[in-house]
Structure 1
């Protein structure tokens, strides 16, 4: 098997992809902006997906690429995909399960990859469990004030996304597949807070926040009105139409997806 390039190698999913590939004894290269700060135990090459001209050294002798797109802009996406296609034979793209949001940047990246000549597989996870780390400070205070407490989601552990990515990168039969990934169960946001509290041994309660108040806070933090409004609309929709639960992780890996409680155990220190 040829060398695998991992982009987003220091991120929540990418770092697990790197470590799982390395533990399997495979040739892995990490694309990083600053090798000295990244501190990964694999080959690292400096480069940045926002500057396609920096990718040539990282792509040399690469057979497969795990692609994580940075941010929302797709201005240079065609140049990046073209650069990858000049060297690699296949790409596994970490997309998202956003079929009802055609304006999202994921769709543009998927379109470019489909027409690149590369063999491709798309991973489309729903909600990431790791995003609940955004509540960490509130959980330490004992109250999470947030909108749409009854929004039910099937949050997935980042380790499961990485494990699926590694499986797809290292086995045959996945070209042209788009896998929708989820955790094994649905929990409302209020229930997620309760589970975290139980795991860390602290009483934590949910306090419903008006959506307009949340929008002001999210705009200050994220600065992207389209993304903020999309997030709020999504959470609201999960109140009446809970997020999909799939068995994709079990089918591909031969084991159940990790539960949200397991995720909370793995991240207990982050809430302490």
Structure 2
């Protein structure tokens, strides 16, 4: 199996590339600059090129590839990059395209970064290649946005009071690895969701338990936005997303939860276990 991973140095991609390489797959990772190559595990083949800036040059990265896994960054050119990648894969004769979208994407297409994924997902479905979509809920790893605030006893990720069926990036990577290394997944759009419904207060309580000191949920999303540097368009995009979560929640059905368990072959990671692991990694515990 030869896999090209697009988005292989992020939260999910790093874990996926490491897993695939450890399991004996030949892995090529498309990176946009030479400085990203150092982030790749030994034995992984880097392809340093920008699909948007040099699509003709990027074609070579797809040569000899059996399967593509793609996870695009939320950037202003996301649709262009994603659809071009599908086109380049088709031209290279790629057999299967696995794309990471988001949970209930169509219902959240009023958000720019989700609308991009809806458009790319349509291109994947209509590509003529075998395809699989992975559609995760809110990442536990979005807690990086509250790392500094935790030192002041505040949890600032503004997920609201209704809750999300959040998921660990480890589980998303495990699901992707299973899809890429086994058959029976063609034409599937898999929800990747947790068993727990986590709201802001519950997340703060989990951190308080692990850190052994009071952590309260800061309910003002404006303070989160002010403390999270990002492009202006993305700041408004994500603020609107969290306003939607606060009003409606982002909750999976029992059937969707069961689907995740079947795909993983186990229960997803518990948020408390994620917090314990992350607090140790951050030197907070």
In the alignment, is the contact (CA less than 8 A) between 2:37 and 2:46 conserved in 1?
no
Kindly provide the CA deviation profile for residues 185-238 of structure 1, in whole angstroms up to 9, marking residues without a partner as x: 1121111122123223332122322x5x35863796441165134323322224
Kindly provide the CA deviation profile for residues 102-134 of structure 1, in whole angstroms up to 9, marking residues without a partner as x: 351110001111111111000011101100111
The offset of 1:137, in angstroms, is 0.5
TM-score, normalised by the number of residues in structure 1: 0.89
Selected match of 1:223 from 232, 246, 251: 232
In the alignment, is the contact (CA less than 8 A) between 1:222 and 1:228 conserved in 2?
no
Paired with 1:244 and 1:49, the residues of 2 have a C-alpha distance of 34
Matched residue, 2:246: 236
Structure 2 unmatched ranges of 5 or more: none
The offset of 1:149, in angstroms, is 4.0
The offset of 1:249, in angstroms, is 2.5
Q: Provide the aligned C-alpha RMSD in A.
A: 2.2
Paired with 2:176 and 2:4, the residues of 1 have a C-alpha distance of 12
Mapped pair 1:70 → 2:73: yes
Mapped pair 1:81 → 2:81: no
Paired with 2:2 and 2:58, the residues of 1 have a C-alpha distance of 15
Q: Please give the secondary structure, in 2, of the residue aligned with 1:4.
A: strand
TM-score, normalised by the number of residues in structure 2: 0.85
Structure 1 unmatched ranges of 5 or more: none
Q: Please give the secondary structure, in 2, of the residue aligned with 1:62.
A: coil
Paired with 2:145 and 2:236, the residues of 1 have a C-alpha distance of 19
Classify 1:149/1:107 alpha carbon distance in 2 versus 1 (closer, same or farther; 3 Å): closer
Selected match of 1:102 from 109, 113, 122: 109
Q: Please give the secondary structure, in 2, of the residue aligned with 1:153.
A: coil
The offset of 1:80, in angstroms, is 2.2
Paired positions, count: 267
Paired with 1:154 and 1:36, the residues of 2 have a C-alpha distance of 34
Q: Please give the secondary structure, in 2, of the residue aligned with 1:152.
A: coil
Paired with 1:36 and 1:182, the residues of 2 have a C-alpha distance of 31
Classify 1:39/1:181 alpha carbon distance in 2 versus 1 (closer, same or farther; 3 Å): closer
Matched residue, 2:50: 48
In the alignment, is the contact (CA less than 8 A) between 1:64 and 1:90 conserved in 2?
yes
Matches of residues 64-213 of structure 1 in structure 2 within 5 Å?
Answer: 64-72=67-75, 73=77, 74-87=79-92, 88-97=94-103, 98-103=105-110, 104-145=115-156, 147=158, 149-209=160-220, 211=221, 213=222
Q: Please give the secondary structure, in 1, of the residue aligned with 2:151.
A: helix
Paired with 2:275 and 2:198, the residues of 1 have a C-alpha distance of 13
Matches of residues 5-84 of structure 1 in structure 2 within 5 Å?
Answer: 5-33=4-32, 34=34, 35-41=36-42, 42-51=44-53, 52-72=55-75, 73=77, 74-84=79-89
In the alignment, is the contact (CA less than 8 A) between 1:124 and 1:180 conserved in 2?
yes
In the alignment, is the contact (CA less than 8 A) between 1:49 and 1:69 conserved in 2?
no
Paired with 1:55 and 1:197, the residues of 2 have a C-alpha distance of 47
Shifted more, 55-64 versus 194-203: the winner is 194-203
